[in-house]
């Protein structure tokens, strides 16, 4: 197996549209939640979200091309372009043979949901005559972002989309990691994007009682592990990471952020949308990731928890963490308290947080949490309030999705 390093990062998030801005706001405990502006949410039970702001696609995409892409693809283009530039990659100067060794695995849980909504709205508002945009299907399908990134840069390596609900982009990261370490590619662009702050998504999550309804105080609505939490805050955006074979990165003199050393995937096989109270899915994903990385639990310094701020989900995950780490003083925090829940893109932006955590020896905090739930297993080292400066050699990144999907990745400080 080959070593896999991370040489580029890109982010479009509710906390900033560059990696430095995003990381600065994470370290300083800023919330990205505010009133919804993308549609009239006045009649919805939840009227706030973590939206991407000040995003100008015309600055990176030709105006004639923009109409071909749903917002989730526009976010994907922007984040992946950032990561490619950050990695110092010049695909235009490479041969076709070299570009055949570079691929894209890009995730999304919902794809072009706003495109789907808009087209059906137009159809049913008309006289029944089927008049659809010729770009309707390619704008909507969930795999299109991966295809567009490869087309944009003429990359001929492995190319596909992973869909495992809110575990999607962590799944993409693990698949890309496997692809590189098995020698099937030298470089993979991996990540995910989501643009699901739409009437159907907000209404659907409201109907399933999953979203917070703290409309009077959105900034403090996402409060993982707090006994008064009442659901997650929906978010949007994209995260992109360049995974590269170590010798290849070394040969070209690339700057290396961190190393990816393990990934674990599992199914809790429990419920359509709920997670088991004993944390079975979490413990399986963690144990498989540790085994894959050939390390013991005591090596992990920080767990970036999935921690959406739902009643059963938070406790179930902590039970799973406790089962693996027992009395070890591993730090745990939930950064969705700041970003909101980016659904299929969550794992990617939390992987970026994990990478920067090991690089900078900083553990971001869980903000908004004031009174820890009494049901939390005793002895867990949950970081609340403000970021903590300490040595961080390994970070474990947890994600879970509707359908029982579990994906856990491990990032290591590069040596």
Which residue is catalytic, options 50, 153, 161, 166? Answer: 166
161 catalytic per annotation: no
Over the Cα atoms of the chain, what is R_g?
20
Which residue is catalytic, options 161, 306, 371, 405? Answer: 306
pLDDT digits (tens, 9 = 90+) for 96-138: 999 999 999 999 999 999 999 999 999 999 998 999 999 999 9
By C-alpha distance, which of 221, 227, 222, 271 is closest to 376? 227
Structural domains in the chain, CATH included, are 4-251 (3.40.47.10), 261-413 (3.40.47.10)
Residue 317 and residue 397: Cα distance in Å, rounded?
A: 12
Amino acid 37: pLDDT: 98
Residue 307 and residue 365: Cα distance in Å, rounded?
A: 12
Which residue is catalytic, options 50, 153, 161, 341? Answer: 341
Beta-carbon contacts of residue 191 (< 8 Å; ≥ 6 apart): 10, 76, 79, 80, 83, 106, 107, 169, 172, 173, 238, 239, 240, 241, 345, 348
Report residue 24 as tokens: 């600065």
pLDDT digits (tens, 9 = 90+) for 31-52: 999 999 999 999 999 999 999 9
For all residues of the chain together, what is the average pLDDT? Answer: 97
Amino acid 9: pLDDT: 99
Strand 187-194 with 102-107, pairing = parallel
Amino acid 236: pLDDT: 98
pLDDT digits (tens, 9 = 90+) for 360-401: 999 999 999 999 999 999 999 999 999 999 999 999 999 999
Amino acid 216: pLDDT: 98
306 catalytic per annotation: yes
166 catalytic per annotation: yes
Residue 345 and residue 339: Cα distance in Å, rounded?
A: 11
**pLDDT above 70: percentage of residues in the chain:** 100
Band of pLDDT at residue 348, cut at 50, 70 and 90: very high
Residue 211 and residue 202: Cα distance in Å, rounded?
A: 8
Say which residue the tokens 């390994």 belong to.
394
Residue 12 and residue 237: Cα distance in Å, rounded?
A: 5
CA distances from 153 to 100, 102, 103, 147, 237 (A): 11, 10, 10, 10, 21
Report residue 97 as tokens: 């043979």
The angle, 0 to 180 degrees and rounded to 10, between the axes of the packed helices 346-360 and 168-181 is 60
Tell me what the mean pLDDT of segment 78-94 comes to. 98
Say which residue the tokens 């006994």 belong to.
227
Amino acid 87: pLDDT: 98
Amino acid 266: pLDDT: 97
CB 267 within 8 A of CB 24: no
Element (H, E) at 63: helix 63-66
Band of pLDDT at residue 214, cut at 50, 70 and 90: very high
Strand 102-107 with 4-12, pairing = unpaired
pLDDT digits (tens, 9 = 90+) for 289-314: 999 999 999 999 999 999 999 999 99
């Amino acid at each position: 197996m080959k070593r896999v390093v991370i040489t580029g990062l890109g982010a479009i998030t509710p906390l900033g549209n560059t990696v430095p801005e995003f990381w600065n706001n994470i370290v300083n405990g800023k919330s990205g939640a505010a009133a919804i502006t993308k549609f009239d949410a006045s009649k919805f039970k939840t009227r706030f979200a973590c939206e991407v702001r000040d995003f100008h696609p015309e600055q990176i995409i030709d105006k004639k091309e923009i109409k071909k892409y749903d917002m989730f693809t526009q976010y994907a283009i922007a984040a992946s372009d950032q990561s490619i530039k950050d990695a110092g990659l010049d695909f235009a100067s490479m041969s076709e043979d070299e570009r055949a060794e570079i691929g894209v695995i890009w995730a999304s849980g919902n794809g072009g949901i706003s495109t789907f909504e808009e087209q059906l709205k137009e159809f049913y508002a008309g006289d029944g005559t089927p008049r659809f945009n010729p770009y309707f299907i390619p704008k909507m399908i969930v795999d299109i972002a991966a295809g567009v990134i490869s087309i944009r840069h003429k990359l001929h390596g492995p190319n596909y989309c992973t869909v495992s609900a809110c575990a999607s982009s962590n799944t993409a990261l693990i698949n890309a990691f496997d692809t590189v370490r098995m020698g099937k590619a030298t470089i993979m662009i991996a990540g995910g994007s989501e643009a699901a702050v739409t009437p159907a998504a907000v209404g659907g999550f409201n109907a399933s009682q999953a979203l917070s309804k703290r409309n009077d105080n959105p900034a403090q609505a996402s409060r993982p592990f707090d006994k008064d939490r009442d659901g997650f805050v929906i978010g949007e955006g994209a995260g992109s990471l360049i995974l590269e074979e170590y010798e290849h990165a070394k040969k070209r003199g690339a700057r290396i952020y961190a190393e990816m050393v393990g990934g674990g995937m599992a199914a809790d096989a429990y419920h359509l949308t709920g997670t088991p109270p004993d944390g079975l899915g979490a413990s399986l994903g963690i144990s498989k990731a540790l085994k894959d990385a050939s390390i013991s639990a005591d090596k992990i310094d920080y767990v970036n928890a999935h921690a959406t701020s739902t009643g059963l989900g938070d406790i179930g995950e902590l039970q799973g963490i406790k089962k693996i780490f027992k009395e070890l003083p591993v730090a745990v925090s939930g950064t969705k308290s700041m970003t909101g829940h980016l659904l299929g893109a969550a794992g990617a932006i939390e992987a970026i947080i994990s990478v920067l955590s090991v690089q900078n020896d900083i553990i971001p905090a869980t903000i908004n949490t004031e009174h820890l739930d009494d049901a939390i297993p005793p002895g867990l080292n949950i970081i609340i309030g403000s970021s903590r400066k300490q040595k961080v050699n390994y970070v474990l990144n947890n994600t879970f999705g509707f359908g029982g999907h579990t994906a856990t990745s491990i990032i290591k400080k590069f040596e």
